[in-house]
Amino acid sequence: MLLAGGLKSLLPHVLRRIIRCNRLSISNTSGMAEGYKQANVVILHKSLADDFEKFCRANDGPLPLLHRSQPGDWKCPSLSSDSDIRTDCLQYRKYEHGVCTGSLKSLKEYSEQLKDMVTFYLGCSFSFEKAVQKAGIPIRNIEQKCNVSMYKTSVPCYSISVFHCNLVVTMRPIPESKLGAVVLATSELEGAHGAPVHIGDPGLLGIQDLSKPDYGDPVHLQPGDIPVFWACGVTGVEAIINCRAPLAFTHSPGCMFITDLKNDNVRSLGGAPQVHCISQDPLHFSIVSAEAAQKINTLETLIGIDPGERGIAHLQRPRELLAAGLALSHAGSVLITTGFPTHLGQQPPEENDGPPGALAIAAMLQALEKRVAIVTDRRAMDLNRRIMEAAVQLGILKKPIPLLSYQRENADSALKFLCENGDPGRPRFDHLVAIERAGMAADGNYYNARKVNIKHLVDPIDELFLAARTIPGITTTGVGDGGNELGMGKVKDAVKKHIKNGDVIACDVEADFTVVAGVSNWGGYALACALSVLRCCDTHDRYLRRALGPRRPRGRPWLPALPSVPKEEKLLKTLVQLGVRSGKTASLEMEVDGLPFYNVHSLMIEKLL
């Protein structure tokens, strides 16, 4: 019997001959024939073959199709010389009506049945192990001399006819400092499942316990490791089980068919992918192309000018817009709040910075088919309802969105508002956004820029952001332009030091991400643009859909939801008609924060677009 020691350097045709002779004392092919492609194998009746091929092409992340044979053809010259699929896998599994009825070393005794069956060779993540190691990244299962861990997830594949199942993934522990490198190394190898489909908490995939894989062996994380998940070809096995075919064969998980094909690196479109952390609880990272990230960073630079000379440059934190955009892109349900009643002597007391930016974010989220709601002060519900009706009539929103208010009734009010039945395990929202929303200062009061206390006009929506910090799965963004807005607590020290009256007015409540703009509406426009950039990014789109189902629509139907000069001009005119005034001057003119709409705000919108 041959042991595993020297197998990694043997040529594929030599390994296949050794496997055919049943002379290996190993349980999987991980680490063997380094640099060559390995393949998952599915063999089924020819009557099912066309639909299974469609299923593979619809879910090309877990099921990258390398070759489909003709019925009864157990050789595969396009992948290998002198091969025989009946004998060249370490071990096979036999399925009858969806039930595994045995493990086999050879399929030769089924040669008659195989004459009416078609073999599918599907890419395998073992193929990228050499590229990962070459990048200086350890492969823990090889170090620990065991098979890779494979898990069933709660993520459904795109169904075709009788073929339906949830995604199966492999997990490899990767040092956090190497996450970018491992994404780069694998993203170029689409025939070996490509880039990861999830980085971080396994619970987000529906995996409850990493120590109990559904296939393969447990692989232990070392200190500093992050669990990284790739789509897995064993997804095909689950599809075979669910279709309940009278007879089917697959490789045994981890026992791959070794091809003669070397991995061919194809440079990723959009430049090297980047990895960014978007949540600490649960731990969650996202992926974006370098090109898309640069565009969003440019948006952040554009909105960072300081036309009011307030000193906001001291508040800005780089790449916060990118992180907020990524978190929103992953969110399914978003709650937005706005409203700064700065004009105590006017009715209504609200300023016109905030609502346009909030509606720009809401419009894009709506176009991306996410659930979205707005929460505001109870006394301002009628005003906000009229603003929303106008936004629908102007074509900014496709339809009205829920308008909510929040009041503190007891210590659990915020938890009950944010979560079903007050259960932190069932949040109603994934992300909260505050844009130009009055924020609570350290003394519990709310102040405008002139240091006037406006607490009597403000409902305690801050409590939702404070509660969100204790609820796993909810992230938050604050957008502001002066430091007294909800969410700006992250930069409160800079506000106190550099902003006029900052020692009194600084908001004490933090958001996970802080977007600082010259005018808060600009931050809302930039977030809408960032979401569009991410939706256009193939790298991010693939990660978002777990490499399952159809790619993003070619027509980009969300683009009309972007803010535009004509839409924002009409909205500002509506706000003037409703008596909503400029924040700095209290003027009922076409201006925001004392800056004219024409040639200032209109020019910013054009630059962002």
Say whether both 227 and 334 belong to one domain: no
Say whether both 257 and 349 belong to one domain: no
Say whether both 604 and 489 belong to one domain: yes
Q: pLDDT at position 18, please?
A: 83
The verdict on residue 294 lying in a domain is no
Residues 410-464: tens digit of each pLDDT? 999 999 999 999 999 999 999 999 999 999 999 999 999 999 999 999 999 999 9
The verdict on residue 268 lying in a domain is no
Residues 241-293: tens digit of each pLDDT? 999 999 999 998 888 888 988 876 544 445 689 999 999 999 999 999 999 99
Distance set, CA 108 to CA 16, 42, 104, 149, 249 (Å): 15, 16, 10, 29, 12
Say whether both 127 and 216 belong to one domain: yes
Picking from 262, 291, 319, the residue at the C-terminal end of a domain is: 262
Output the domain CATH number for residue 357: 3.90.1640.20
Task: Band the pLDDT of 226: cuts 50, 70, 90.
Answer: very high
Q: pLDDT at position 4, please?
A: 46
If one counts every other C-beta atom within 10 angstroms of the C-beta of residue 70, the result is: 10
Residues linked to residue 230 through DSSP beta bridges, in sequence order: 170
**Least confident piece of the model among 71-85, 156-170, 303-317:** 71-85
Q: pLDDT at position 24, please?
A: 62
Tokens standing for residue 350: 């609200």
Say whether both 238 and 359 belong to one domain: no
If one counts every other C-beta atom within 10 angstroms of the C-beta of residue 47, the result is: 12
On the CB side of 454, how many CA atoms lie within 13 Å of its CA?
A: 27
User: What is the value of pTM for the model shown?
Assistant: 0.93
Q: Which of 403, 396, 402, 309 is nearest to 357 (CA)?
A: 396
Say whether both 444 and 589 belong to one domain: yes
Q: Whose structure tokens read 């974010």?
A: 361
| C-alpha span between 175 and 227 (Å, rounded) | 9
Residues 368-381: tens digit of each pLDDT? 999 999 999 999 99
Say whether both 228 and 347 belong to one domain: no
The answer to whether 224 and 176 are in contact (CB under 8 A) is yes
Q: Which of 377, 333, 371 is nearest to 354 (CA)?
A: 377
Q: Average pLDDT in the 157-168 region?
A: 97
Q: pLDDT at position 1, please?
A: 40
The verdict on residue 276 lying in a domain is no
**Least confident piece of the model among 18-32, 74-88, 113-127, 303-317:** 18-32
Tokens standing for residue 220: 């232990």
Say whether both 393 and 541 belong to one domain: yes
Number of domains making up the chain: 2
Range of the domain at 117: 12-262
Predicted confidence (pLDDT) at residue 584 exceeds the cutoff of 70: yes
**145 or 387: which leads in pLDDT:** 387
Say whether both 76 and 200 belong to one domain: yes
Q: Whose structure tokens read 């535009």?
A: 564
Say whether both 40 and 126 belong to one domain: yes
The verdict on residue 218 lying in a domain is yes
- Give the dihedral sign, CA 450/453/458/463: positive
Predicted confidence (pLDDT) at residue 402 exceeds the cutoff of 90: yes
Question: What single letter denotes the amino acid at residue 3?
Answer: L
Picking from 262, 288, 313, the residue at the C-terminal end of a domain is: 262
Percent of the chain with pLDDT over 90: 84
The verdict on residue 571 lying in a domain is yes
Residues 199-224: tens digit of each pLDDT? 999 999 999 999 999 999 999 999 99
Say whether both 81 and 204 belong to one domain: yes
Tokens standing for residue 285: 């990272």
Q: pLDDT at position 23, please?
A: 62
Q: pLDDT at position 191, please?
A: 87
The verdict on residue 583 lying in a domain is yes
Output the domain CATH number for residue 247: 3.30.2040.10
The dihedral over CA atoms of 428, 403, 531, 340, expressed in degrees to the nearest 10, equals -110
Residues found in the chain: 609
The answer to whether 137 and 181 are in contact (CB under 8 A) is yes
On the CB side of 171, how many CA atoms lie within 13 Å of its CA?
A: 29
Picking from 262, 286, 316, the residue at the C-terminal end of a domain is: 262
Task: Band the pLDDT of 25: cuts 50, 70, 90.
Answer: low
The verdict on residue 100 lying in a domain is yes
Task: Band the pLDDT of 6: cuts 50, 70, 90.
Answer: low
Q: pLDDT at position 9, please?
A: 62
Cβ-Cβ contacts under 8 Å for 224 (sequence gap 6 or more): 175, 176, 177
Q: Average pLDDT in the 30-50 region?
A: 89
The answer to whether 371 and 333 are in contact (CB under 8 A) is yes
| Farthest-apart Cα atoms in the chain, separation | 91
Say whether both 49 and 172 belong to one domain: yes
Q: pLDDT at position 8, please?
A: 62
If one counts every other C-beta atom within 10 angstroms of the C-beta of residue 471, the result is: 19
The verdict on residue 170 lying in a domain is yes
The per-residue pLDDT of the chain, averaged, comes to 94
